[in-house]
Structure formats: structure tokens, C-alpha cells
Structure 1
């Protein structure tokens, strides 16, 4: 069976023994890991799942749990899996997310949300799977999920006991790293 590089599609010469190759070389392996622009802090954590209609799945397609690390995987394994519709990251270990729902109209961010997002430290953001929400990723101390209101804008803040979908649809030109968003606790 002929195999192809998961990044560039080039044919791969199969090794005589051992695990089948997924990439034609180091350059494609590294590029593939950065393909979604996922920050290193997330890529290096074994907190990845797949999802189907927002239901968390393991890389094999079985039910996953946000409280059972044995059902989570590495970024590479989750990305290579074909289970479900896409990738998700289980929050915790200091990684959290601010979730703004229904804040885009015809692809334009609501001005109030834009002002609020601009007041935050520069951090990695992406458009949610619905296409009308925004996920603002950052470092947030673990706490119960909360609904916060700031300047008339509703935002959900999660830092543990949840997973957030990863779309790869980056928003803005912010960094591909996570900023400290602990100040959102004072909202």
C-alpha cells in the first residue's frame, strides 16, 4: 500500500519495519503541527479530543470525558484521527477560554465586542465553529465556568471541566501564543 505525506501529499517510501511514516520529512512534520496555528502550549499538552456535534470523542470515536485524562490524546494523534467532525481541547492546567457567542454579523465583529477584545492582552483568538462566535484563548486560573458582563457584552469564561472546539479559523493578527487573562476574573 502506497502512503502519502499528511502535509504535502508526496509519496512516502515505506520503512521495512516499525511504525508507518506519516510525513516525508522533518519539514513537513513540523509544518503540519503548526498548520492550524495552534499555540505551542496547547500542542504540547495531551488534552486533545475529537468531537461530533459538540459531543466529546476519543481519537478512536468512543465517548470522551472532560474529567478523564485517559480519554484525551496528543495533538498529533487527535489531528490524525478521522473520528467526529473536528478537534477539541480540554481546558485546565492554567489554559482557559473566553467565549463570545453570536458576536459576528456578516463577518463583522460587533463593535462592543471589538472594543472589549482590544482591551485584553494580545493573545490567540479564533472564530467558533458556528462562524458567528469568537474564542479568546489564554492563561486563566482554574475556576468554575462563569457568565460575565462587561460594558453590556455577555462573555462566558471557562478554565476547567470543559472542552472548546478548535477550528483553525484564526481571528486577527494577534500572537500564536497565550496571554495571561487572569484579569478577566475582576470583570
Structure 2
């Protein structure tokens, strides 16, 4: 029974991590490879992992693997893939498409200016749709801190948005 719960936890966490990796710019293939490597690492160290902190451990291992891959490929910038903002895209008229592309570029630019912790929180909440509790589990924070940090991230996003005059 314990093995089934661990398997369910790993599957759930790996799904979230896969989606997050893709949101920050990993290709689907790279995200799958990183998730697979992370599962192998978790199995290797399962006896020494704290059950309450396994989510944050899995997340940290995956992110470190992504950054190692990123550095290895020497990409110019991490950037946020267009797939992040696909929900903003509509199949409407050309004018709508151009406006959506401009909005995507503006959101991408502002997210890129935020510090990584704020960007991560905003992606988890608004692009992946995780609850405060789920975010807290991944980042090993209690819900009240997640709410506070997300509030600060939204305020900073709004400030940058206005400074760049995107709110016209």
C-alpha cells in the first residue's frame, strides 16, 4: 500500500514538474528526459528522503537538471516559450492575432524582468493553475507565505507593466 501511495505521489509531482519545465522553456522531449532522470534519482535516494519534503526535493532536482541542460546547450536566454501564452491566442481575425502576439511579447518581457521566485510563483498560479497548497508543497512553504509572495509578485508585475507603459 505504501508503494502505491509513493507511486501516486511521484506521478502527480512529475506531471506538475513536466508542465512547469515546459512553461519555462524546456522542449517536451527535454522535460520528459528531466522527469525521467528525476524519478530515477528519487528511486536511488528514496530511503534518505524526508516524506514531507519529497515534493520540494523533486522540484529542486528537476530545476537543477534543467539549468544544467540549459547551460550545456548555451542558449542565449531562458525565455518563455509561446506555448506558455497559448491561452491568449485566438483563431480570430488577423488584427486580433497581431494584438495577441503583442500582448504575449509584453507579458513575456515583464515576466522576464521579474526575479525568478516571482516568475515561478506567477507561472505556477496563473499558467499551470496550481492551488496555494500545491505551490506550498512544491516550494516547501506554508500557504500564507505563498499568498504573501504571490501578492508581492503580482504587485511587482503590475509595477513593471505600468513602467513599460503596456497598460495604455
Task: Report if TM-score (shorter chain) is over 0.5.
Answer: no
Higher helix share: 2
Q: Aligning the two structures, in what range does the TM-score lie when normalised by the shorter sequence?
A: under 0.3
Query: Which structure is richer in relative contact order (CA contacts within 8 A, separation 6 or more)?
Result: 2
Higher strand share: 1
Q: TM-score, normalised by structure 1?
A: 0.25
